[in-house]
């Protein structure tokens, strides 16, 4: 992963460039990195604030020979890789909030957006979009993000070399991806659960179709969140925003 690097100064979204590269048969492990995104994409149709030179905005192209239902696992692998990379370089351990937010001191540091192209039974390509807030200062954030988002430099009080972090993330991601292809999801699931904050806590999952409140029990083999409601009934949640009970 990262043997082919496509670098851009300014793009709308690295996901878009990666989609084009997929059509041009870019090899597995190709990455797209940009200094700035003018229309960074977040989950659920949201925007992702991606100012120049201050964060890591990149997309990774993978082509695993797997059924489409396995794609969410790749998001979870990526989250573990990012946590491990940050841990390695800074000695602080961020936490994962299902499915793919990485938090430091309760605020969002990283987002992951996975987009897949597949036919009925096989993945053709997966584009994993990674946004890591690295060197933003507090005053760089627009008001509406100030209370929910943070950066490594805000939390650690010093700037980080983005190139070092990119290298470490790709290194960890490749290691975990190979482990996953070799041994399956189970070893990753254990790692993921060790970094997850929501497991065992009371949470509310908000979906487009409504919300469920209960205790987060864990994730399934496919990375689906299991919530137990007050009546003891189990719910499987595929996609939602999670709120932790205070
Ligand atoms: C989220 O909503 O939490 C996911 C955010 C993902 C942002 C990254 S930045 C690189 C890649 N390109 C995009 O347009 N989005 C992803």
Each residue's pLDDT tens digit, 174-191: 999 999 999 999 999 999
Domain boundaries, the chain: 5-195, 202-244
> Quick check: ipTM above 0.90?
yes
Cβ of residue 242 lying under 6 Å from some atom of ligand 1: no
> 202-244 maps to which CATH number?
2.30.30.100
Each residue's pLDDT tens digit, 79-89: 999 999 999 99
User: What HEC string does 213-246 produce?
Assistant: EEEEEEECCCCCEEEECCCCCEEEECCCEEEECC
Q: Does the annotation flag 16 for ligand binding?
A: no
* pLDDT at 246 exceeding the cut of 80: no
189 phi and psi angles, rounded to 5 deg: -60, -40
Q: What is the pTM of this model?
A: 0.93
Q: Report residue 23 CA to chain centroid gap.
A: 23
**Taking the chain, what is the end-to-end CA distance rounded to the nearest angstrom?**
39
Residue with tokens 């290691």: 175
* pLDDT at 236 exceeding the cut of 80: yes
> Is 3.40.50.300 the CATH classification of the domain at 5-195?
no
Query: Which residue has its alpha carbon closest to ligand 1 atom 15?
Result: 41
Cβ of residue 57 lying under 6 Å from some atom of ligand 1: yes
């Amino acid at each position: 992963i990262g043997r082919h690097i496509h670098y851009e100064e300014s793009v709308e979204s690295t996901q878009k460039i990666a989609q084009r590269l997929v059509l041009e048969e870019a090899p597995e492990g190709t990455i797209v990195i940009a200094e700035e995104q003018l229309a960074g994409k977040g989950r659920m149709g949201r925007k992702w604030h991606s100012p120049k030179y201050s964060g890591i905005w990149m997309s990774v192209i993978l082509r695993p020979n797997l059924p489409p239902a396995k794609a969410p696992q790749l998001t979870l692998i990526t989250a573990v890789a990012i946590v491990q990379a940050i841990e390695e370089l800074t000695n602080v351990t961020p936490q994962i909030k299902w499915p793919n937010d990485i938090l430091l001191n309760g605020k969002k540091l990283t987002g992951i957006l996975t987009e897949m192209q597949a036919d009925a039974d096989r993945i053709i390509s997966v584009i994993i979009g990674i946004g890591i807030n690295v060197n933003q200062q507090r005053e760089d954030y627009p008001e509406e993000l100030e209370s929910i988002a943070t950066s490594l430099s805000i939390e650690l009080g010093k700037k980080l070399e983005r190139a070092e972090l990119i290298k470490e993330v790709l290194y960890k991601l490749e290691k975990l991806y190979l482990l996953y292809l070799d041994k399956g999801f189970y070893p990753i699931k254990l790692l993921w659960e060790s970094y997850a904050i929501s497991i065992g806590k009371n949470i509310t999952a908000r979906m487009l179709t409504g919300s469920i409140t209960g205790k987060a029990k864990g994730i399934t083999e496919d990375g689906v969140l299991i919530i137990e409601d007050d009546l003891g009934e189990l719910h499987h949640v595929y996609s939602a925003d999670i709120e932790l009970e205070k």
